[in-house]
Chain A
Amino acid sequence: MDLHIEIITQVLFWGLYTGCIYILLATGLNLIFGVMKIVNFAHGEFLMLGTYITFFLFVMSGFNPYVLLCASIPLLVVIGVIVERLCFRPILGTGKLNEIFVSIGLIYIIQNLVARIWTDEWKTIQSPFRDISVDLGIIQVPLDYLIIMAITAILLIGLYIFLHHTWTGRAIRATSQDRKGAMLMGINVERMDMVTFGIGAALAGAAGTLWAVSGQVFNPYMGSIPAIKAFAIIILGGLGSIPGAIVGGLAVGLVENGTAFTLGGAWKDAVSFILLIIVLIIRPTGLFGEDSE
């Protein structure tokens, strides 16, 4: 019986870890959607860029990869701002089809650029804490996963403080709630778009750094599947809702791992999407979504 509890706790723990990666990815995606109302299919490429920037900085500097978050996050903000300015702002409001095709084009551009620079071979990096485990009573877990969960929590708290207690954050929320109203109040909504896109890309990039540090392999094509999951999560949680992205990310992480444990890994995506369909049947706007969306 003890073993049973240990195993179940371990599976829940892996679910939490997976949920953390999904939360960061989906929160960024939802933030961008909430403010700009664009569907960015290339969001997973920011996660991939996060892994490669971390890899590059790690190889160049030899610094602790967690410390490198301080460099990779600002870099991803800059990349996000450039992408928004060059690719999305010109076509904003010209139709969803344009946004979709621009984001699909971006997937190929970013993937091929990364493959050109770093080749398309699978890469890994090793955490300096890889040999350290922590005894949580029921289970022993590698320290890295606790750090990843803590960093996710810190980033989310930081995002909350930014959105609720700074002028720019409040302006972003105002733009998200009523774009025209925000413009009439003197908010430069285009600047908010830019900042939001930068933050969204940075959150995805942070997810990428944590993905890499946790020992998962990565190559230029690894962003597509997590991006699809992130879309499912924001629909599940409610389009434009940050709490929805957090709850949805955790739910999908736990369901995926629970499914892998009970039915096998081949079923985990199918069951996640069954969960999505069930939620949408019961609540078409998602868990935290509003009717206007």
Chain B
Amino acid sequence: MKHWVPYSLVMSIIIIGALLFSGCTEQPASESAESIKIGVVASMSGPASTTGKDIWQSAELAAQEINAQGGVFVKDLNKKIPITLVQGDDESTREGGIKAVSKLITQDNVDLLVGGYSSAVVSAHQAIVADNKVPYIISGGSSTSVSHRDDIDTSYMFFHRPNTDDSAKASILFIDEVVRPEIYKKFNLPDDRPLRLALIFQDSPFGKGQQGAVRNLTQDLNLPIEIVAEETFKMGESDFRTALTSVKAKKPDIIYAVTFLNELIPLTQQARRDVGLDTLILSIENNDDPDYYSGVGELGDFTLMESRFSPYAIPKGSTSERTKKFLEDFQTKYGGFSGMMGAATYESVYIAAKAIENAGTVQKDAVRKALSEISMDHMIEVMKDQVIRFSPDYQESSFDLYVEQMKMDPAVGEIRPHIVWPESIRETGFVIPDWYQPGSP
């Protein structure tokens, strides 16, 4: 029995340690009554934690910059008010998101929310936001099932990202305008042969949204593209060998991969190395992250990515200087580069600040109205008409999207992106690698 005393002590220490560690999230620096509280919904733990950290750090950088200028001018108070960020870790799960957003709204009493990544996670906590009528600038949740839903009131939600229809359209147009002609020319394929497209997508609203968009686009635009394979995988999957073997059996000309970052790296490596798929892989924008470039290695050479912000490829134009500054500041503060989700969240904090300034108050209905009417110069992502504004129908912003091709950079030992589409911002031409084999004739 006497053994129980030290063992109880050890167990107590372990349990207290667990509680301390599990609660190790960064808290707001101060809780001044005179601050604008912005809740940042980010996956700080779980499978999407790499992206979550990017979201949080970029929000911190934006808040720091705004606060360095004295904060946001609020007309009602006739003075500038600093921003305080409050972190809400959605744990990369629906349940975690509900918990985090509930806490941000009911306990932390935030004035506004930014962030959100996975469509599945965002859709689960949208109802709480709708019920509490808190303005929410969502930089993820790209599925149209999130932004076009009519079962809840989405009037307080503003989507600062392209939806799945937008990114699928950019990808499919690139395939039709650039990839198809180049492949057909190089391999003397007949013009009446449809291009063989394989889809491999996450079994989630995000993945299904892209799948539906690709199907609809090829039909609606009557494009000579045949979808020869549609393979699904569960969120967080790391073993794609069988799915890719199935894709290989269908002999595609190109694979369109709808994945998260942690899924794209093994998918690309397994496709090329394990399954021997000598074909092109086109992925989408949320993977444009420094961790992709460092993680995928030389097997990512010649892969393609639809994007709107890259840490290593800056589109020429009016956003390029500010983008460079953002990347430099981010690197100085955190010792690395931000990814696309970070960039969108950085802008979201600025959009929030501008809306509050325009509203002249932090009253939620006034901020919502200001957000719906906002019109500000684009910042570090290239927007349509160079203006950030939200559409009147689904409150979505509109981006100029582009496609990059990866090339190995021996100087850094990693692949680096080069913009190959559209023509207006193209850095270099699209290249078919020597090892590439087209699908069935």
The answer, among B203, B245, B274, for a CB contact under 8 Å with A215, is: B274
The answer, among A109, A122, A265, for a CB contact under 8 Å with B21, is: A109
Interface: A178 (CB within 8 A): no
State the CA gap A268–B265 with chains docked (Å). 21
- B232 x A140 contact (CB < 8 A): no
13 new A-B pairs (CB below 8 Å) besides A142-B273, A215-B270, A265-B242?
Answer: A14-B242, A89-B7, A109-B18, A122-B295, A123-B295, A124-B266, A142-B274, A216-B239, A217-B262, A261-B242, A265-B243, A266-B232, A266-B233
The answer, among A15, A86, A133, A145, for a CB contact under 8 Å with B10, is: A86
Chain A residue contacts of B242, Cβ below 8 A: 11, 14-15, 257, 260-261, 265
Q: Which of B20-60 touch A at CB < 8 Å? A: 21-22, 24, 45-47, 49-50, 53
Interface: A291 (CB within 8 A): no
The stretch of A66-74, A112-120, A231-239, A241-249 in contact with B is A112-120
Q: Which residue of A lies closest to B263 (CB)?
A: A217
15 contacts between A and B (CB under 8 A): A11-B242, A14-B241, A90-B7, A105-B18, A113-B21, A116-B24, A120-B49, A142-B274, A215-B266, A217-B266, A221-B49, A264-B203, A265-B233, A265-B234, A265-B242
Q: Which residue of A lies closest to B7 (CB)?
A: A90
State the CA gap A285–B34 with chains docked (Å). 64
Chain A residue contacts of B203, Cβ below 8 A: 264-266
Interface: A7 (CB within 8 A): yes
Chain B residue contacts of A64, Cβ below 8 A: none
- A108 x B21 contact (CB < 8 A): yes
Interface: B248 (CB within 8 A): yes
State the CA gap A16–B302 with chains docked (Å). 31
Chain A residue contacts of B237, Cβ below 8 A: 265
B347 to chain A, nearest CB (A): 23
State the CA gap A264–B199 with chains docked (Å). 12
Interface: B318 (CB within 8 A): no
Chain A residue contacts of B376, Cβ below 8 A: none
Given A90-B11, A261-B246, A130 and B273 contact (CB-CB distance below 8 Å): yes
Interface: A3 (CB within 8 A): yes
State the CA gap A60–B49 with chains docked (Å). 25
A122 to chain B, nearest CB (A): 5
**Which 4 A/B pairs are nearest by Cβ-Cβ distance?**
A112-B21, A90-B7, A265-B233, A266-B203
Q: Which residue of B lies closest to A123 (CB)?
A: B295
Chain B residue contacts of A269, Cβ below 8 A: 234
Chain B residue contacts of A131, Cβ below 8 A: 273
Given A105-B18, A112-B18, A124 and B231 contact (CB-CB distance below 8 Å): no
Interface: B4 (CB within 8 A): yes
State the CA gap A261–B49 with chains docked (Å). 30
Q: Please report A residues at the B interface, Cβ cutoff 8 Å.
A: 3, 7, 10-11, 14-15, 17-18, 86-87, 89-91, 102, 105, 108-109, 112-113, 115-116, 120-124, 126, 130-131, 133, 140-142, 145, 215-219, 221-222, 225, 257, 260-261, 264-266, 268-269
A65 to chain B, nearest CB (A): 15
Chain A residue contacts of B269, Cβ below 8 A: 124, 215
The answer, among A123, A141, A266, for a CB contact under 8 Å with B234, is: A266
Interface: B15 (CB within 8 A): yes
Q: Which of B50-99 touch A at CB < 8 Å? A: 50, 53
Given A11-B242, A11-B245, A122-B295, A217 and B21 contact (CB-CB distance below 8 Å): no
State the CA gap A150–B10 with chains docked (Å). 41
Interface: B439 (CB within 8 A): no
- A216 x B238 contact (CB < 8 A): yes
- B297 x A109 contact (CB < 8 A): no
Chain B residue contacts of A7, Cβ below 8 A: 245-246, 248-249
Q: Which residue of B lies closest to A112 (CB)?
A: B21
- A264 x B273 contact (CB < 8 A): no
Residue-wise, chain B 243-286 has the 8 Å CB interface mask toward A (1 for contact) of: 10110110000000000011001100110011110000000000
- A221 x B291 contact (CB < 8 A): no
Q: Which residue of A lies closest to B238 (CB)?
A: A216
Given A11-B245, A261-B246, A122 and B232 contact (CB-CB distance below 8 Å): no
- A122 x B261 contact (CB < 8 A): yes
State the CA gap A18–B274 with chains docked (Å). 14
- A217 x B7 contact (CB < 8 A): no
Chain A residue contacts of B274, Cβ below 8 A: 141-142, 145, 215
State the CA gap A44–B243 with chains docked (Å). 24
Chain B residue contacts of A18, Cβ below 8 A: 239
Chain A residue contacts of B2, Cβ below 8 A: none
B32 to chain A, nearest CB (A): 30
Chain A residue contacts of B238, Cβ below 8 A: 216-218, 222
Q: Report which residue of A102, A116, A215, A218 has the largest number of chain B beta carbons within 10 angstroms of its beta carbon.
A: A215
Q: Report which residue of B7, B49, B239, B291 has the largest number of chain A beta carbons within 10 angstroms of its beta carbon.
A: B239
- B21 x A90 contact (CB < 8 A): no
